[in-house]
Every structure is written in structure tokens, then in C-alpha cells.
Structure 1
Amino acid sequence: MAPLDTATQVPLAGMGLEALMPRLEGLPPADAIGLYRAWLTANPASPQRFAAWFNLGVQLGAGGDRQGAMIAYRQALAMKPDLHQAAVNLGLALEAEGRQEEALATWEAALQPVEARLPLLNHRGRLFENQKRYAEAEATLRQSLQLDPQQPDVVQHWSHLRQKGCMWPLDGGGLPGLDAETLALMGGPLGALALTDDPALQTRIGAAWIARKVPAAPERLAPPQGYAHDRIRVGYLSSDFCRHAMGTLIVELLERHDRSRFEVFGYCTTEEDGSELRARILAAFDHHVPVRQLTDEQLARRIRADEIDILVDLNGLTRGARLGALRWKPAPVQATYLGYVGPVPLPELDWMICDRDVVPEAEDDGYAPRPLPLDGLYQANDGQPPALPVVTRASEGLPEDAFVLCCFNNFYKITPTVFGAWMRIMARAPRSVLWLTEDNATGIANLRRAAQAAGVDPARILFATRCDPARYRARLGLADLFLDTTPYNAGTVASDALRMGLPIVTLAGRAFAARMATALLRAIGLPGNSATSVDEYVEIACAHALDPAHHARVKTALAGDAWARTVGDAAGFARRIEAAYERIRLRP
């Protein structure tokens, strides 16, 4: 007797797959899986079996049976080797199992028509990037873009890969079908901070990204006139309430808010990391509101229900941002602060918190939303003294008698211009070594090649392994001079360097990101270490490296409580940002 469709009691033998599909609509997953299996048993010679195996794989994967799904996809590929969709899904299942090399091999071996190569190439590129195999990722995504250059997400990853891997020139000689402006606009907002010093162009890049990624909400929730609360309700929204640079900076502000005038809400989308810093952050909120599992609309409605007066987004255009929630306008006043040091041109944002060093008044028109300058340094800091381990130059692999130039910024901030300046400094200071973070193998190899080409022995570039925050800060105290990057300066790292008594040399540009270290140096009383040209940057650094008396005078200026009473004055900062909140708060 031929197998029956148990839902309809109709024989399955000889039934075409297209006739089976309507019977699957509305079935529970387990019943759909059973029906596909029954059909495959009843139709051993059907030319459509490959499609049934593929559909069965999709159902099994959706139901959590990853092993069964992989078997089904392999069956489909055995019958139809050019079924690239099965190869994509099989590779994703292998990747989810931790079998990354098998996933890459599956996508590499897949047969497919030209128009279907894109997903296979893009998945390979994505996985190579996750593995920090940046050279292979870049080459793979370049192949994809050569097939179809109109892939903004792929362009964004390809461009940032070249930055992270120090693959110069950064535009790779260009891509057919993309002019320089279009390439920049597709490059993504984080990469833009290290690519251009033009705030208006950064705003256009951010706006293009938002247009692709964050559609407008159907309504705005907050009353435009605001609320009549006795205490201002400030809500902080972040995915980084943990052992993260933003969390390190913001924690004491949260603790020091004047509770007679402010009520502090923390909308937390952060994964639990069990750190002491996270525990301290959560304890500082009057209301800790875990919202990670909420949709954007649910998150927005929760904020509206809490009648938040001022919502401060601490992500901006970085990973973990919940811009979709902001588009519902859940608070009458919404500001962006600290997490992204550039324009966030979301129409529902009202303010970008800054200061007049990072955003001079003449540059206001280049930014969206409107700059909200504080009276003094823009950057919050935790003034509590950190517990640091004992480190020595010997323990960190540094030569005892060298003048140690260091930069612990991520590699994507290092540009050819900056690196060229570093090589000029090292050529003039033969006792110097350059100490960088061990970011990725591709970047290390490319920097060593660039040093060799500049006539500097690559062995003079040393790389510090990744470590915990306490050891990282202690290491800064071993160096002699911090060489900043531009147009994307150090932010948290620059503050940490100054705190450890390490002088900084920076190059001030036009954009917020290019002026962070300048703001810190002015706050602590060392404006002379901020250059306005590459040549001046080199001269200031060489004065430190070659004139011990000058270097000692600058070090003395950073000694004692210099940082604590300026950059690290958390109590003073809290009063200044609260004054700004009071200026922008709306009430009926």
C-alpha cells in the first residue's frame, strides 16, 4: 500500500512536489518533517527529490535538529551539486557547530551559476573576517564586489577590512563601478571616522547607513511638550554596561548624579559579563531596566511608559545600537553621547553632547544632530584609583634603555600618513622603539613591510599582547611617549595614558574624532603637545625623544594629582553635564 499523507489521507506516491506544498501550509513543524519524509519514501525515483531534501533540511534546522539538517542538505547536494542554496545552508550549519574550516571548504567547493556566487563569497568573507584572516577576507569580498559592486554592506566590510589590516592604499586602487565618493558613502560610519576629517562627509556617510538600516517608525511616542516631573528623569541606553571602554568612562557619572534633582534609569541591552565594573554600573542606577530581549517597539514603549525626560543613547552608530527604538521618539529630548564620537544623523535625535574643543563653533553646521557643548571637557571619567599589577619593561619584553614610543589604538586608526610620521620620528631617534597592540596578523605583517620600505628596521616595532584592563593601564606607565593617530584619535586610551603620567602627542584635525586628544591635553594643561600639521607632530615627538630635559618637564606636569583634578574630576563633570540637561529639558 502506498504511503498516505496523514493529514489528508491521500496517497503520496506519484504526487509531484508542487502538489505536496499546499498540504504543508499551517502544519506544525514536526508534522511537516514527517510529511517530507513520507513523500521521499513514496517517491524514490522522483527528479524533485533534491528539492524535498532541501526543504526538509530547512524544517529540521528551524526545529533545532542541526545534524539532521546537515544530512538533508548533503542529500540534496548529492542529487544536484549546483544547488548553491543547500551549500550555503550546510556551511552555516557547520559554522554553528564550530566546524569553521569545513564550512569554508563547503562554500569553496560549491558549484553555482555566476549570479549565485555572491552569497557563497560573502559568507566566506564574513567567516574569514571573524577568524581575523583579513587578507583572505578582503580578497574574497573583492571578488564579490567585482561581480556586483552595488552591495553597500559588502563594501562596508571590505573597506573596514583594509583599514584593520593596514592594507594601503585604503581604497585598494578602487573598484570597477564605484567612484571614490560612492565608495566612501558605502564605507560605513565607524570606518568613516578613520577615513575622513570632514564632519559633513561623516554626516552623509552616517545618513546613508541609517537610510539602509533603520527605517522610520510609524509614530512618535513622547509628548512634544515634555513632562512636569519634579526630578528630571534621565535614561541611559547602552549595550556596553560592562567591562567596556564606555562603561569605564561613564560609571562614576552615574554614581554622582544629584538624586535630589535627577532620577536615573539604565536601559540595558548588555550581555552579562560578571565583571565588577558591570556590578558597579548597575548599582548606580535608580532603575536598572534589562531590555535586551525586547523588540525596538517594545523598548520604545517601555521608555515612554517610564516618562523619561531625556534619553541619552550611549551607542551611536556602533555595534549593539538600538536606533530603531530611538526612531519611535520615546522621550521628548534625545541625545547621543560618548559611544560614537561623530555625527549620528538620526532625525529623532536632538543633541550630540560635546565640548568646544572637539566641536569648534565654526564646525557646527557639519554635524547632525545639533552639538550640545558642555562647559569644559566632554569626556566623563571614573576618578576612582584603579588597582594595578606590578609590571616591568623586562616582563613586557621591552628594552630597558630604549625610548619607548607607544600607540595602543586599534590598527584601523593607523593611516599611511600617521605611520609615515612615526617612521620619520624613529629615523631621527635611533634609540627609539615603537610599541603597538598585537591587533591582527595581517596588519602586523603589513606594518613591518611598511617600516622596511621606510628604511626602519621592522624589529624595532614591538607588539603587546591583549590583556585585562588593569595590566593594560599599568603597561602605559612603562612607555615614554604616546603617539596618537588621526583623523581618529585615542579617546579612552588617551585619558588612560595621561592618568598614568604618559605624555601624548596628537595631531588636531577638524572632526570630533580628530580632536579628542587635543581636548584632553588642554584640560590637563598641555596644549603644546597638540600639533596642527604632520611636520609639527614630528617635531614635538622628536623634542621628547631627543631632549631629556624637555621630556622631564612635561612628565612633571602630569605628575601628582594633575589628572585627578582635571580630566578625572568626576564630581565637577557631573555638575557640568547636569547643567546641560537642565538647559535642554522640556516641560509643559
Structure 2
Amino acid sequence: MAPLDSAAPTSFAGLPLEALLPGLGALPPAQGVAAYRAWLAANPASPQRFAAWFNLGALLGQTGDRAAAMIAYRQALALKPDLHQAAVNLGLMLEAEGRPGEALALWGEALQPDAARTALLNQRGRLLETHKRYAEAERALHASLLTDADQPDVIQHWAHLRQKGCLWPLQGEGIPGLSAEALILRGGPLGALALTDDPDLQRCIGEAWIARKVPAAPERLSPARGYAHDRIRIGYLSSDFCRHAMGFLIVGLLEHHDRDRFEVFGYCSTPEDGSDLRRRIIAAFDHHVPIGHLSEEEAARRIRADEIDVLIDLNGLTAGARLGALRWKPAPVQATYLGYVGPVPLPELDWMLCDAVTVPPDQARHYAPRPLPIEGCYQANDGRDQALPAISRASEGLPENAFLLCCFNNFYKITPQVFAAWMAILRAAPHTVLWLTEDNATGIANLRREAAAAGIAADRLVFASRCDPLQYFARLGLADLFLDTFPYNAGTVASDALRMGLPIVTLAGRAFASRMATSLLTAVGATDGIATTLDDYVSKAVALATDPARHAAARQRLAGDAWVRSLGDTAGFAARMEAAYERIVLRP
């Protein structure tokens, strides 16, 4: 179709809109905009004007003229108030303009046919979730599922919202048409780690998620027998090379790799956060390769071009993962490590790095990919000294004389059973206070309500505001005992607690996620904090909280250089990890 002269709209008079559409596909967006404007000017009484305004809004959005696009969508809604697609798009643009309140109000008031109401409810739930308004988000998604229960992604978000908001029981009243088993299978892989201690069930949930979200690639890129390089080329793939828990753990390993034997590549899809940690991580790579702008195939082909010998995925089944790239098998050996502590049943992964405590030999058959235990503890750590700020219980709003129990895990890891155990500890040790992180308002309100129902006074639960990493470490030094969660243990936070000399009580289960703290306590020689039943967990915590000599002995085991000699020995850990890489690398 030839370029249109917007000054001559009369050529469109009486032209049905559907007759205009075939010629627009080959036009640049700007010319399409001119065509729609011309058609609208020439057809002031057409019943199809709502569709033309909607299409005009979409094209204006493509050209970057967001203000004009929003006007077009409003015109479409004025002509057809139940055009829910226009309400969705207009709301997304309001959100992009930094006007989330207007977007939520629009979606809440929009008219739509019953069959399409889920789109608005889902967008509303998504935006409410990003603002941590979890109770409202959960209600929106639940309403969507009552309209259409066959929405796996919505089920996953709804289930995880209930976990994050401590909305118990976790499955609520359920979803009509879906059994409890079906809800669990569709609940998503991250939530699964905090929902079940069964690695077989975790693997099934991961398989269902991968089958739905990550299709197989059409070809394998890497040679099956590997490469003949003088130095082993290690590639680390992550979206978390920044101030993220994984970034804090991995940076020391990257810095300590033996460059005589290894060449280190970082395939990075991490948004820039401007942090000192990110600069350290990037500087630790021999080759920093940004791939955030690349498609999955393009990222895979870039990795293949670099002839990586062993590719280490640091995301697993978490946000930002590049599983689609892994499916092209860009490296002859591919392993998953650290980011997701459970089965990652992607056929193109060869190994899951772990240790003999997190995955005992008799449990290895339940995992995919195949577990590769490294010598010692599985967890990388940064052993650098830290200059911590001077803080006190008074400055943090904490009682001076109470025995301070703490857990700085995210709320979604707190289960009803574990919280009930915490309440039993507080009842048995009346001089204790429980210090939790200020995760979200919905969760805080629900935990306070559960505590009150258990007979615990409101002032015995204290919530710590978010803070910078150094203040967070200093806060751990104020506590007396760390209470772990189950079935999803603390990982990074548990190591941080031990570094600050804080004793831990954990419950060891079957799955990797429920044995992380057990591995850490084993490494530092503090195995007396490992419980095997929930009753044992409560008993150990109460004994430490009520017996000063026992607590002092637990502190003494972690005093001095106990952490530095074990978990903080970054150079030693790097050597053990490199030995594992040398075991699995392929050579022609």
C-alpha cells in the first residue's frame, strides 16, 4: 500500500474498516497511524470507530507516543466501555508512566464480558503483587481462577502469593474443579521448595513447569566429545550478578579461580544496579559477556562460539533463568548450581552441584539432573573481612534483656507448622522475643493474628526493616539464636548467621532445600543444632533459650575463626569446586 496522505481523508469515506486492514501490515507504524487517523476523520459515524481507535492506540504505542496512545485507548473505551483489551493496554501504559494507582482503578472499574474478565483480574493481581499488596492481589487472582481454573501461570502466582502473605491454610478454600494434588503440581517450582520435603514431588512440579514454559530447541550446538583447550573454559550464566544473595555468595569463587588452569566467562543478563558488588563480580571474569538483550537462541550461539567447556547455570528454576538457551546445549557439559536448591529436570543439564549432606547417596536417584557432590560443603562464600557499623539493641528497637530469637528468611518460607513450633518455643521460654524481617504488610498482619491465637503477646514479635548488607550482618550479631525454616531452610542467611557467631537450630529433612543448614552446621562443627523431628527442634531451641551454660557453649563453638576456617575458606572452596569441574569436563 502506498504512503497515505492524511490531508485527503475523503478517500476513506464509507470504506469498511476490514477493507483497510490488509494493506496496513506492510506499512511502517507511522504510516499506519496516518491511515487510521485518515479513516477516523472520514468516517465520523461508523460503528467500527472503537476498533479503529484501539488499533491506532496499539500503533502509537509502537512508535513510542505513549500520551497519544492513551488518548486513543480512552476514545475506544468511550465508544465501547466493555472493550477490556483497551482497558488492559491503557492500564499498562499508566503503569509504565509511574501511575499504578490509576491503572488499578481503571482495571477495577472496567466493564468486560464474563469470558474475558480474567485478563483484567490477572493484570490487577500482577500489579498489586509488585507493590506487595498481597492480600488484594490474592483476591484478584482467586476471582480470575473462579472464572477459569485452567490458568497454570495464575495458579502458580496465586499459590505463591498465599505463601508470601502467610495466608493460611496455604490452599485456602481451593479452586473448584481442581484437586489439592493438582494445585500442588501447578504451584510452581520455587514455591514447591517451601511446600514439600519430597524431592520426587519437587521434580514432578519442575517437569510440569518446564514442559509448559521451555520448549525443546531444534538442534544441539556443542560437540558431544568436548574441546581440546589448554585451559578449561568455565562459563557462569546468571541474571543475578548484582546485590543479590547469589552474587554475594559467588563473587569470592570467581576471584579465586586458578587462571593457570581455568578461563572464566560470565554470561550476564543482570540489570545494572551500580553496586560495588556488581563491579567486583564483573572484574572477576576474564570475559564479561552481556546477553540480556539477546534471544535464547542468540545467547546459546554466543556461548557456543566461545567454546565453553563447562557451563554453570546459577538460576535454576528462578526468575531470570535462561533455560531456553540451555536447551540448545551450547556447552558439552552443563550443570546447575546455587540459585535453585532442588531438582532442575531440564534434559540438557548434566549435573546438579551439591554435597554429600544436602543430597545423601541414598537420595540421589530422586534428582534430575544427576547430583555431583563436591568435597565439603556445597556453598560458596566470600571470605573478605567486613567493617560493620556499630549498632545496639536499643538503636534497633529491641528489648535489652530478652533472649532474642531471630529468623530473617523471606515469609514464603514460613509454614504454619514451623510458626506453630515457634509459638511453642515462646510459650516454653517466656523471656524470649522473636525477631523477623519486615517482609510485607499482609504477612506481618497474618503472623500477628496467628501469634495472638496462640496466646503470644503482640510485643513478643518484632519486625526488622530492610537495610543495607552491612547493617544486616551487624543485626545478626545482636541475636541469641537463629530459628530456621522448614522444609525450605535458610541458605545464605544461615551462613551469615554462623559468620556472626549466631547459633542455629534447624530441622533436617529429605530434600536438598531442607538440608542446607545441616550442611553448613556440619561444616562449622555445630551439629548439636540439627534436629530430626519438629518436637526435637522445639526442645533444642527451648534448651538453648533457658540454659545459659548450654547457650554459651554453642556460642563458643562458633567463636574466633570457626567460620573463616570452614565456610569462609574461599580459596579452599575454589580448589574443591575446580576439582569437580575437572572430573566432569569432556575432552576429545
What is the match of residue 96 of structure 2?
Answer: 96
Q: Deviations over 1:64-103 (max 9, x none)?
A: 1111111111111111111111111111111111111111
Name the residue aligned to 1:579.
579
Assess if the C-alpha contact under 8 Å between 2:9 and 2:39 holds in 1.
no
Number of the residue aligned with 2:454? 454
Change (3 A) 1:317 1:336: same
1:6, distance to aligned residue in structure 2 (A): 6.4
TM-superposed deviation, 1:109: 1.3
Aligned positions of 1:295-314 closer than 5 A: 295-314=295-314
> For residue 468 of structure 1, what is the aligned residue in structure 2?
468
- Give the 3-state SS of the residue equivalent to 1:203 in structure 2: helix
Provide the rounded CA distance (Å) in 1 between the counterparts of 2:453 and 2:63: 55
Identify which range, 344-353 or 276-285, moves more after superposition: 276-285
**1:563 match: secondary structure:** helix
Counterpart Cα distance in 2 of 1:305 and 1:140:
46
1:199 aligns with 2:225: no
Judge conservation of contact 2:10–2:42 (CA < 8 Å) in 1.
Answer: no
- The residue number in structure 2 matching 1:515 is 515
What amino acid is the match of 1:115?
A
Q: Match of 2:269?
A: 269
Three-state SS of the structure 2 residue aligned to 1:11 is helix
CA distance in 1 between counterparts of 2:230 and 2:8 reads 66
Give, in angstroms, the shift of residue 8 of structure 1: 11
Distance 2:6 2:517 in 1: 71
Distance in 1 (CA, whole Å) between partners of 2:10 and 2:45 is: 19
Q: Structure 1 residue 338: deviation in Å?
A: 0.4
Alignment-derived partner of residue 154 in structure 1: 154
Q: How far apart, in 2, do the equivalents of 1:372 and 1:7 lie? A: 70
Structure 1 CA distance for aligned equivalents of residues 373 and 356 of structure 2: 6
AA partner of residue 460 (structure 1): R
- Aligned partners of 1:414 and 1:184: how far apart in 2? 17
Aligned position for 1:136: 136
- SS at 2:233 equivalent: strand
Displacement after TM superposition at 1:565 (Å): 0.3
Asked if the contact 2:236–2:313 (Cα under 8 Å) also holds between the matched residues in 1, the reply is yes
- Counting only pairs closer than 5 Å after superposition, residues 356-375 of structure 1 correspond to structure 2 as 356-375=356-375
Q: 1:444 to 1:10 in 2, by over 3 A?
A: same
Amino acid at match of 1:212: R
Work out whether residues 225 and 586 of structure 1, in 8 Å CA contact, stay in contact via their aligned partners in 2.
Answer: yes
1:173 offset after TM fit, Å?
A: 2.5
Deviations 1:216-263 (A, max 9, x none): 111000000011112111111111111111111111111111111111
The equivalences for 1:203-282 within 5 A come to 203-282=203-282
CA distance in 1, matches of 2:519, 2:366: 19
SS of the counterpart of 2:273? Answer: coil
| Structure 2 CA distance for aligned equivalents of residues 25 and 517 of structure 1 | 58
Matches within 5 A, 1:43-442: 43-442=43-442
Q: Deviations over 1:117-148 (max 9, x none)?
A: 01011011111111111111111110110111
The one-letter code matched in structure 2 to 1:117 is: R
The answer (yes or no) to whether the contact 1:189–1:202 under 8 Å persists in 2 is yes
Q: How many Å separate the matches in 2 of 1:134 and 1:427?
A: 30
Query: What is the distance in 2 between the residues matched to 1:500 and 1:137?
Result: 37
Q: Quick one: which amino acid aligns to residue 228 of structure 2?
A: A
Quote how far apart the aligned CAs of 1:25 are: 2.5
Question: Deviation of residue 5 (structure 1)?
Answer: 6.1
- Partner AA of 1:336 in structure 2: T
Q: Deviations over 1:404-445 (max 9, x none)?
A: 000000000000000000000000111100000000000000
- Maintained 8 Å contact 1:157/1:187: yes
Between the aligned partners of 1:362 and 1:148, the Cα distance in structure 2 is 42
The alignment of Structure 1 onto Structure 2 pairs a total of residues equal to 585
Taking the aligned partners of 2:18 and 2:240, their CA distance within structure 1 comes to 49
The one-letter code of the counterpart of 2:500 is M
**Residue in 2 that maps onto 1:556:** 556
Distance of 2:6 and 2:167 partners within structure 1: 60
Quote the RMSD (CA, aligned, Å): 1.2
CA displacement at 1:19 relative to structure 2: 1.3
% of aligned pairs identical?
Answer: 73
**Which sits farther off after the overlay, 348-357 or 571-580?**
571-580
Cα pair 1:5 1:11 within 8 Å, conserved: no
**What residue in structure 1 maps to residue 499 of structure 2?**
499
What stretches of structure 2 of length at least 5 have no aligned partner? none
- Look up the SS of the partner of 1:434 in the other structure: strand
- Structure 2 SS opposite 1:195: coil
CA distance in 2, matches of 1:479, 1:503: 9
Conserved 8 A contact 2:355-2:376? yes
Rounded to whole Å, the distance in 1 between the matches of 2:183 and 2:440 is 24
Distance in 2, Cα, partners of 1:560 & 1:286: 35
Match of 2:535 in 1: 535
1:295-329 per-position Cα deviation (integer Å, ceiling 9, x unaligned): 11111111111111000011111111111100000
Letter in 2 for 1:580: A
Inter-partner Cα distance in structure 2 for 1:282 and 1:18: 53
Query: Match of 2:459, SS?
Result: helix
Give the residue type in structure 1 aligned to 2:100: Q
Distance between the aligned counterparts of 1:468 and 1:443, measured in 2?
22
Q: Which amino acid aligns with 1:73?
A: Y
Cα deviation, residue 458, structure 1: 2.0
Which consecutive segments of 4 or more residues in structure 1 shift more than 4 A? 4-10
SS at match of 2:15: coil
CA distance in 2, matches of 1:99, 1:276: 31
User: Residue 28 and residue 416 in structure 1: after superposition, are their counterparts in 2 closer, same or farther (change >3 A)?
Assistant: same
Deviations 1:534-558 (A, max 9, x none): 1000010011100000000110110
Q: Which residue identity does 1:131 align to in structure 2?
A: H
Secondary structure of residue in 2 paired with 1:342: coil
Decide which moves more: 354-363 or 23-32.
23-32
**How many angstroms apart in 1 are the aligned matches of 2:485 and 2:239?**
26
Question: Does structure 1 retain, via aligned residues, the 8 Å contact 2:9–2:38?
Answer: no
Letter in 1 for 2:281: I
Residue 288 of structure 1 aligns to a residue in which SS?
strand
Contact 1:5 1:12 in 2 (8 A): no
> Contact conserved, 2:8 with 2:38, CA < 8 A, in 1?
no
User: Distance between the aligned counterparts of 1:282 and 1:25, measured in 2?
Assistant: 43
Q: Specify the code of the residue in structure 2 equivalent to 1:444.
A: I
Q: Shift of the alpha carbon at 1:54?
A: 0.9
Q: Which digits, 9 at most, give the CA deviation of each residue in 1:20-46, with x for residues without a partner?
A: 112323111111111111111111111
Indicate if the aligned counterparts of 1:404 and 1:432 stay in contact, CA closer than 8 A: yes
Tell me, in whole angstroms, the C-alpha distance in 1 between the residues paired with 2:546 and 2:64.
64
Any idea what the Cα deviations from partners look like across 1:266-288, whole Å, max 9, x if unmatched?
Answer: 11111111211111111111111
Which amino acid is 2:125 matched to?
G
C-alpha deviations, 1:338-360, integer Å up to 9, x for none? 01111111000000000010001
Q: Deviations 1:342-400 (Å, cap 9, x if unpaired)?
A: 11110000000000100011111111000000111000111111121111001101000
2:311 aligned counterpart, secondary structure? strand
Contact 1:488-1:514 at 8 Å conserved across structures: yes
